[in-house]
Amino acid sequence: MAKGDRSDTLVIFGITGNLARKRTFPALYNLERRNMLEVPIIGSGRSAWSDDDLRAEARKAIEATEQTDPAVMDRLLDRLRFVGGDLDDPSTYERLREALGAAHCPLFYLAIPPSLFGSVVRRLADAGLTRGARVMVEKPFGYDLESARALNREMLTVLTEDQIYRIDHFLGKEPVQDIVYLRFANEIFEPVWNRDHVESVQITMAEDFGVEDRGRFYDQVGALRDVVQNHLLQVLALIAMEPPSGGEDAVADRRLDVFRAMPAAEPAHYVRGQYDGYRSIDGVDPESSTETFVALRLQVDNWRWSGVPFFLRAGKCLAVTATEVDVRFRRPPSIKLADGVRTMRSHNHIKLRIGEDAGASLGLLLKKAGEPLTQSVHLDLDFKEQLGIAPGPYERLLHDALTGHDLLFPRQDVIEETWRIVQPLLDDPPPAEVYAPGSWGPESCDDLVAAHGGWAKLRSV
């Protein structure tokens, strides 16, 4: 197997789970619709399903989210087969080997709890199924720095690094990939994208819903592990990295450079919150201290960004659902005119929306009509309107893994650096402050950005 070789079968462990229902089945349908799915699909799970049961569940999940074409649906369902069994039972893998037949380059997608990654990979190796294979694993890859290293050591006993595809679905989002093009394909931005002109950067991932359907999982993870160590730090790296050049791993190398330049996060610049009512959710410990909201300040200590604070914020049950990056430029000095001095009360900024309403806006200062004051106005770009409907992140990542393209999959050295950065926050977390659902989290998080103009206003999806 080499990069660019196409997998000849897709095997999905955990096909009976919530992730498959919400993400995987719709992604497979859209790949089929685009004529980009060329392989048989084997689903595996502990349920006593037949092939027909799997097809019925796939149809139900897809029709819940997509406008379907009967011909496309039939083509996809014809690809599906089911191999049931316990993941600890060697006979499960024997049945899987029989189902794979002559396949020589399968993609094994582990949409299962991370605690099972190592044992499943070993069982696959024992059954002689890892030679020539790729293995795609869901996040989180570990629960802290040491467990991430231990898991990688375990997987490398039977796999090579280039066989492992670690998912961070944010890197599969088209608007996240657009960050690189926005920065480096437009000469007007790069000259001012540095500490001489940028005052601060904010990255926010807000959700107006809670964790009602996955309380048991979330209570073991929390917001920091769920979206900051992976999603938001990867976005930060794309905002802060140097221009990619020199080899097929150039983007990954530049992201790694950013993380290596970042000191570990400081608990003194970290706020945790838990929304009122979280502890009553099914599967959540009634005495849980797990955070559903985090806000923190980070630094990138290199020549481009020294002294520029990066603020990250993420939470459940907030006022809106939106994911945005706000790059704030330094406030211009006052303007002296014949009738007085015009003090600039605001600043320019570039806002990148990377949620459902993907787009970008440029904040400018202009004279307010009829008054000697400045007014902030926005030049707004809607990506869907201008660029068309983009493929979904799981659609993109599944296809990339099937075709051997690993650009959008974080390497182990990158994952270890992101765990290093957040490790002090895991080791010495402040208490989780209770906040009201529908608010913007604990009031103390405002203190983090008080000296930098406060948190950016987000546009609801």
Give catalytic residue positions. Answer: 231
Q: How many CA atoms lie within 13 A of 409 on its CB side?
A: 26
Q: Which amino acid, one-letter code, is at 371?
A: E
DSSP state letters, 35-97:
T---S-EEEEESS---HHHHHHHHHHHHHTTS---HHHHHHHHHHEEEEE--TT-HHHHHHHH
DSSP state letters, 388-417:
-PPPPHHHHHHHHHHTT--TTS--HHHHHH
Give the pair of three-digit tokens for residue 347: 């600043």
Q: Which amino acid, one-letter code, is at 283?
A: G
The dihedral formed by the CA atoms of 419, 425, 427 and 430, expressed in degrees to the nearest 10: -160
Separation of alpha carbons 454 and 138, rounded Å: 35
Backbone dihedral region for residue 134 (phi beyond 0: left; psi -120 to 50: alpha; all else: beta): beta
Separation of alpha carbons 58 and 99, rounded Å: 19
Judge residue 55's burial from the number of C-beta atoms within 10 Å of its C-beta, 0-12 exposed, 13-18 middle, 19 or more buried: buried
Pairing of the two strands 134-137 and 106-110: parallel
Question: What are the CA-CA distances from residue 116 to residues 160, 380, 450 (Å)?
Answer: 18, 45, 43
The label of the residue with tokens 């006979």 reads 91
